[in-house]
Amino acid sequence: MLGGYRLPSLTTVVCGLFVAYILQSVWTLGQLFVHPSCPAPTDCYQPLIATNPPLQLLAFTSLSRSPSHPRELELVHRLNSFPYDTPYEELLEVQLPLRVRNNGSYFLHLFLTPPHIEPEDWSDLVRGEHSVYAFSHLTEYQVPAASTFTLLGEDNTQAQKEKENKEQQQNKQHHTAQKAVTHFQSQVTFNILTDPVGLPRQDLPYDLGHALRLDSRGRYLPILHVDTLSARTRDLVEVTPDLTHTNLTLKYFPISTGS
Ligand SMILES: *[C@@H]1O[C@H](CO)[C@@H](O)[C@H](O)[C@H]1NC(C)=O
Ligand SMILES: *[C@@H]1O[C@H](CO)[C@@H](O)[C@H](O)[C@H]1NC(C)=O
């Protein structure tokens, strides 16, 4: 056995980076929960959500990360009066276009709008004063579980050393088998900050400030957040060329600043 100091293995480094990423994400999310101080109401942005506005939830799938035309969107869910004060869950069946089935990417686009907005009405949807938007990846590239097994099962004993050339050829074959393919994220969780808290105009955490949009009366629009931290590997479904439909669970939780 080797004693003394060893360089950290690649696994350690990757795990380290992953932990750092998680911590950063938790920090970003955490800032939503920290109650920012709001000394006087005039120093603060007041929330539109304090007036209990009726909100419509619209969910679209798209091949495009940033669609520029309604034709690029496929409406998969419309909830005319979205009960955003309570947790909510909906099982949707979505179609997978050929491009997704051929190792492509797929995206979910969420909008919160006033109830009268029609899903086809692009300008109201995108530029409406009270329109709120968030998006999520619906696919991820992963090596299919079956070929990971092949890798682990591969035997590399001394006896096989003579067959090295042969093995190298096999490795090349494994290499093609190992290719990452599209996996569908079958569960997406999103949140809205439902606490009617005023947020200080000064000293707003950058991430929060960035997420704020104001209406013409200076009230901030509901903060819609897709919870990427809750996306789990076991919810990934391998997309094969003949998987034309699949299920998507849309989960919603209201969040508060904890005050
Ligand atoms: C699928 O696409 C990803 C990303 O573009 C690529 O890395 C991978 O090799 C592709 N897999 C196949 C089987 O073509
Ligand atoms: C989708 O969900 C329905 C209802 O739970 C189930 O019957 C169906 O088999 C599911 N489809 C897929 C592709 O998992």
Ligand 2 within 6 A of 230 CB? no
Separation of 2 CA from ligand 1 center, angstroms? Answer: 38
Separation of 171 CA from ligand 1 center, angstroms? Answer: 18
The predicted-structure confidence for 15-57, as pLDDT tens digits, reads as follows 788 888 777 777 766 665 555 567 677 788 899 999 999 999 9
Cβ–Cβ under 8 Å, residues 223 and 212: yes
What 8-state DSSP symbol labels residue 162? G
Cβ–Cβ under 8 Å, residues 178 and 209: no
Cβ–Cβ under 8 Å, residues 124 and 113: yes
| Confidence category of residue 150, pLDDT binned at 50, 70, 90 | very low
Q: Among 107-111, 133-137, 208-212, 244-248, whose mean pLDDT is lowest?
A: 208-212
Q: Whose CA is nearest to atom 13 of ligand 2?
A: 246
Task: Pick 16 or 150 by higher pLDDT.
Answer: 16
Task: Pick 239 or 212 by higher pLDDT.
Answer: 239
Q: What is the mean pLDDT of residues 119-124?
A: 90
- For residue 183, which ligand has an atom nearest its CA? 1
- For residue 143, which ligand has an atom nearest its CA? 1
Separation of 129 CA from ligand 2 center, angstroms? Answer: 38
Give the pLDDT score at 175: 53
Q: What is the mean pLDDT of residues 211-238?
A: 90
Give the pLDDT score at 23: 76
Spatial separation of the C-alpha atoms in residues 75 and 59, rounded to whole Å? 6
In angstroms, the Cα distances linking 16 to 10, 67, 222, 231, 238 are: 10, 35, 35, 19, 27
Q: What is the mean pLDDT of residues 210-232?
A: 89
Give 214-251 as a DSSP string: B-TTSPBPP-EEE-GGG--GGGEEE--TT--EEEEEEE
Give the pLDDT score at 178: 79
- Tell me how far apart the 2 most distant CA atoms of the chain are, in Å: 80
**Domain ranges for the chain:** 42-143+182-255, 146-178
If you average pLDDT over every residue of the chain, what do you get?
Answer: 83
Cβ–Cβ under 8 Å, residues 121 and 56: no
**E strand or H helix at 45:** strand 44-45
Which residues does 152 contact at the CB level (< 8 Å), separation at least 6? Answer: none
Separation of 190 CA from ligand 1 center, angstroms? Answer: 28
- For residue 94, which ligand has an atom nearest its CA? 2
